[in-house]
Amino acid sequence: MADESAPPASTAEKTPWRYTKWGSIVLSPDFYIGVPSGFALALLPALNKAVAGMATTVLIAFGGALVAMAAVVVAVETIFVTLLIPEYQAAFERVGGGIKAAARPYVLVAWVCAVGALVSFAAALSWPGIPQDTWWLRWLAFAPPSALVAWGLLGSAQLVSLGAFHLEQRSILIKAIREFRSRRDGTSHNVS
Domain borders along the chain are 29-184
CB-CB neighbours of 98 under 10 Å: 12
Could you give the maximum distance between any two Cα atoms of the chain, in Å?
A: 89
Statement: residue 44 has pLDDT above 50: yes
Task: For residues 122 and 67, give the distance between their C-alpha atoms in angstroms, rounded to a whole number.
Answer: 14
Cβ 150 vs Cβ 57: under 8 Å: no
Cβ 70 vs Cβ 116: under 8 Å: no
Q: What is the mean pLDDT of residues 40-48?
A: 94
SS3 (DSSP) at 85: coil
Q: Please name the residues in contact with 173: beta carbons below 8 A apart, sequence gap of 6 or more.
A: 85, 87, 88, 91
Task: For residues 1 and 5, give the distance between their C-alpha atoms in angstroms, rounded to a whole number.
Answer: 12
Residue 4 pLDDT grade (very low, low, confident, very high; cuts 50, 70, 90):
very low
Task: For residues 52 and 44, give the distance between their C-alpha atoms in angstroms, rounded to a whole number.
Answer: 8
Task: For residues 62 and 41, give the distance between their C-alpha atoms in angstroms, rounded to a whole number.
Answer: 13
Segment 126-159, tens digit of pLDDT: 999 999 899 999 999 999 999 999 999 999 988 8
DSSP for 58-72? HHHHHHHHHHHHHHH
Q: What is the mean pLDDT of residues 101-129?
A: 94
Statement: residue 171 has pLDDT above 80: yes
Cβ 149 vs Cβ 62: under 8 Å: yes
Cβ 70 vs Cβ 120: under 8 Å: no
The mean-pLDDT minimum among 5-14, 31-40, 105-114, 172-181 falls in 5-14
Q: What pLDDT, on a 0 to 100 scale, did the predictor assign at position 70?
A: 92
Q: What is the dihedral of CA 85, 88, 90, 94, to 10 degrees?
A: -160
Q: What is the mean pLDDT of residues 92-101?
A: 80
Residues of the chain with pLDDT > 70: what percent? 90
